[in-house]
Amino acid sequence: MSRLLIPSLLAAAALLGAGPARAIIFISTGDPNFNTTAPTGQYANSGWQFQGTWGNYLGTPIAPKFFLTSKHLEGVIVGSIFTYLGQSYTTVRKIEDPTSDLAIWEVSTPFPNYATVYYGKTEVGKEAVFVGRGVGREDEPKLAGKGWRWSANTKQRWGTNTISSIADLGSGMGETLRSTFDLGGGSTEATIGDRDSGGGLFIKDTDGMWKLAGINFDVTGPYKYSLSDGDNFNAALYDQSGLYVSLLTGGFGPASGPGAFYSTRLSSHQAFIHSITGLPEPSSAALLAAGGLFLANIRARRR
């Protein structure tokens, strides 16, 4: 996919460039079959069950006839088939958010279930489970002790990471959830690469439910070994030092620290989401629930 230029990320991401998100890569293993089935244990029901196949990418149902994904995806048009839980759904409309990379697609028949969207504002510091499909990793001697180059892979996989900060990408892109690729992050610590865009990122809310908090969007890169190199490359790096990374203002500059990926922050775009899906906003739903409970208590007292 063509690289997205996001000028206002300059301050938010310490001058590092970012390209469209394309796949999940793990810190602990290069096994292409790692985490290719639904997670269990502490990560059971953490969002895998709500992922549908959308061309070469993924999407997440969020209402009876609507699913959410990235708007920059290639090769998908109205009339294309979205596959969810083994069933095919024909798309009839695409609605793009003018303030972010989000797109909501409408299908002709309703889904049997769908994910709950997270609209809180306390994502930073929370562990996230995210899903994607695309590239894996391959060893490169020059990157020993730093990470790996991207390699071919097309399997749906899930990984984990911790949301480290909120990065505001400015006009047309909005706020994102930023997660760094850290060496000590654990066996399921992961980042994204080619064809991970559109996959869902989930966090556990205070009620114990895993909810959709972000949509995979962007990743740090590409890189060069030196400014004189004619070619650049994509990689998943936990240590960028000594390399040069694409700058949002053009060209390349010195890199440091771990690479990062970005997921569009859904809590910043709830008005757009609810204007399309027609579902009540959380505040309205809470008021309705509170009102129902109040009436029930009144009736109980009168009996």
The count of residues in the chain is 303
At residue 230, the pLDDT reads 87
23-27, 84-88, 253-257, range with the lowest pLDDT:
23-27
Q: With bands split at pLDDT 50, 70 and 90, how would you rate the model's confidence at 217?
A: very high
- 242-259 burial code (b ≥16 CB/10 A, e <16): ebbbbbbeeebbebebbb
The answer to whether residues 101 and 83 touch, using CB atoms and an 8 Å cutoff, is no
Pick from 95, 21, 5: which is nearest to 58 by CA? 21
Q: How confident is the prediction for the chain on average, in pLDDT?
A: 86
At residue 119, the pLDDT reads 94
At residue 281, the pLDDT reads 56
pLDDT digits (tens, 9 = 90+) for 239-253: 999 999 998 778 999
- Identify the residue with better confidence: 163 or 6: 163
- The structure tokens listed for 131 are 């899903």
At residue 19, the pLDDT reads 53
pLDDT > 90? residue 18:
no
Q: With bands split at pLDDT 50, 70 and 90, how would you rate the model's confidence at 48?
A: very high
- The structure tokens listed for 192 are 């994204």
Mean pLDDT within 128-145: 92
pLDDT digits (tens, 9 = 90+) for 148-196: 999 877 789 999 999 999 998 777 788 999 999 999 889 999 999 888 9
Q: With bands split at pLDDT 50, 70 and 90, how would you rate the model's confidence at 21?
A: low
Q: With bands split at pLDDT 50, 70 and 90, how would you rate the model's confidence at 63?
A: very high
Which element (helix H / strand E) includes 45? none
Q: Which residues pair with 190 in a beta bridge?
A: 26
Q: With bands split at pLDDT 50, 70 and 90, how would you rate the model's confidence at 2?
A: very low
Distance CA 277, CA 284 (A): 14
pLDDT digits (tens, 9 = 90+) for 83-134: 999 999 999 999 999 999 999 999 999 999 999 999 999 999 999 999 998 7
At residue 250, the pLDDT reads 82
- Identify the residue with better confidence: 248 or 50: 50
Determine how β-strand 127-133 pairs with β-strand 136-138: unpaired
pLDDT > 50? residue 68:
yes
pLDDT > 50? residue 46:
yes
Mean pLDDT within 269-298: 61
pLDDT > 70? residue 223:
yes
Distance CA 109, CA 119 (A): 26
- Domain layout of the chain by residue ranges: 9-277
Residue 298: is it exposed, middle or buried by C-beta count within 10 angstroms (0-12/13-18/19+)? exposed
pLDDT > 60? residue 74:
yes
Mean pLDDT within 6-11: 31
At residue 247, the pLDDT reads 83
Q: Model pTM? A: 0.86
Matching CATH number, 9-277, of 3.20.20.80, 1.10.357.10, 2.40.10.120, 3.40.50.1400:
2.40.10.120
At residue 289, the pLDDT reads 38
